[in-house]
Amino acid sequence: MRPVKIKIQFPMDGDIAMGPGKAELLAAIHQYGSISAAAKSMHMSYKRAWDLVSVMNAGFKYPLVMTVVGGSHGGGAIVTEVGLKVLQHYQALQIKTEVFVLSESADLRAMLANRNESDPVS
């Protein structure tokens, strides 16, 4: 069965407070403990990652990412407790939505053209 692409976004004041790219970045920051390392893992510039973090932090009541200043091992970033909850809820919503859309769109997807098949749809 063919997959369906679902893109869930939460708009806020002309920006997207949370969407698939921001969720991926948030997960990468949590994994690497660094905005810079997260950006590199996503083949994204540090500035772009920092801008996305700023939009996420501004789009929620509480910051999703906090930065840690320097020290002997350099700085870093942590995903806050709120950030982890937002990420968890977003990922769960994404999965539930994909499952729902896949089950509800089976008939429509069966009618899509397939270059390898020549059977007419009845």
Which residues, at least 6 apart from 102, have a Cβ–Cβ distance to it below 8 Å? 1, 3, 4
**Residue 8 domain-assigned (yes or no):** no
- Does 7 fall in a domain? no
Residue 9 domain-assigned (yes or no): no
Q: What is the pLDDT of residue 115?
A: 62
Q: Is residue 73 part of a domain?
A: yes
Extract the tokens encoding 5.
Answer: 């692409």
pLDDT computed for residue 53 by the predictor: 98
- Which domain range does residue 82 map to? 18-103
Residue 113 is assigned to a structural domain of this protein: no
Q: What is the pLDDT of residue 61?
A: 96
Q: Residue 72: inside a domain, yes or no? A: yes
Q: What is the pLDDT of residues 56-86, one digit of tens each?
A: 999 999 999 999 887 666 679 999 999 999 9
User: Quick check: is 45 in a domain?
Assistant: yes
The answer, as to whether pTM is greater than 0.85, is: no
Neighbours of 26 (CB within 10 A): 24
The number of domains in the chain is 1
pLDDT at 117: 55
For residue 121, the 8-state DSSP code is: P
Would you say residue 49 lies in a domain? yes
Q: Which positions of the chain have pLDDT values less than 50? A: none
- Whether 26 and 33 have beta carbons less than 8 Å apart is answered as no
Spatial distance between the Cα atoms of 16 and 61, rounded to a whole number of angstroms: 14
Instruction: Please report, for the domain that includes residue 99, its CATH number.
Output: 1.10.10.10
